[in-house]
Amino acid sequence: MVAVKIPDEQCFVLYNADWDTYATFSDRLGNCGVRCNYDGVNLELMKVSPEHEQARNLLASLLSLLTQGMNIDIEDAGSMICRRQDLGQGFEPDVCYWIAHKAQVSGRKKIDLTRDPPPDLMLEIEISRSHLNRMAIAARLGILEMWCWDGETLRFMLLRPNGKYSKTQRSRALPFLTVSELQPFLHPDVTQSKMTWMQKVMEWMGQKKVRGGRRSTT
């Protein structure tokens, strides 16, 4: 096993790492601000940047406001470690949620993805560059939808029957939402307060409810 430091990145990759090595790092570093990703062969240890965390907080706050505004109950698992030894895959999302399958995991102190459903939605911030194919890992774990944001462009990605993700305009987990509707809220006016931003989001949601926006189109 060889450790390689990636220049100018807060990231290490351990090549040819076995599952026990990954599990040990994942368990011990889970609360230290270091993300552990494992593709079955290589183990990545990443410390995300403050810019990354700011972007994550903004997108997560937007999602929270949207679901509250539409009275949708969700299970927020934060950056819960998602891993399956039988598949040899594991990673830590920026944020993950159960929505359609919330009732199946609500109140659980420990999630076992060999038995419990995987999260319905994950947020992936693409500012701190990963050196593993995190989307391929998520696909193998059965994550049906990912929202990917690089600080400029938001993408909704749906897992298809061929085991790969493709872009879509409309969310599957929250079918009343489209990418084009959410994009403006991810570029708030720097002169406005967070409270003003929240009020604008809630006003938009109120207008959408009046128009019957919660109904998805086919």
* Percent of the chain at pLDDT exceeding 70: 92
For residue 31, tell me if it sits in a domain: no
For residue 2, tell me if it sits in a domain: no
Residue 54's φ and ψ, nearest 5 degrees, are -65, -40
pLDDT in tens, 4-39: 444 334 788 999 999 999 999 998 886 677 889 999
For residue 110, tell me if it sits in a domain: yes
User: Which domain covers residue 59, as residue numbers?
Assistant: 49-210
Which CATH number goes with the domain that contains 99? 3.90.1570
C-alpha 70/C-alpha 174 separation (Å) is 10
pLDDT in tens, 130-175: 889 999 999 999 999 999 999 899 999 999 999 999 999 999 999 9
For residue 137, tell me if it sits in a domain: yes
For residue 145, tell me if it sits in a domain: yes
Mean pLDDT check: name the lowest of 27-31, 87-91, 174-178, 194-198: 27-31
For residue 43, tell me if it sits in a domain: no
Number of structural domains the chain divides into: 1
For residue 197, tell me if it sits in a domain: yes
Per-residue tokens: 54: 């700011």
pLDDT at 191: 79
48 burial (CB, 10 Å; 0-12 / 13-18 / 19+) is: buried
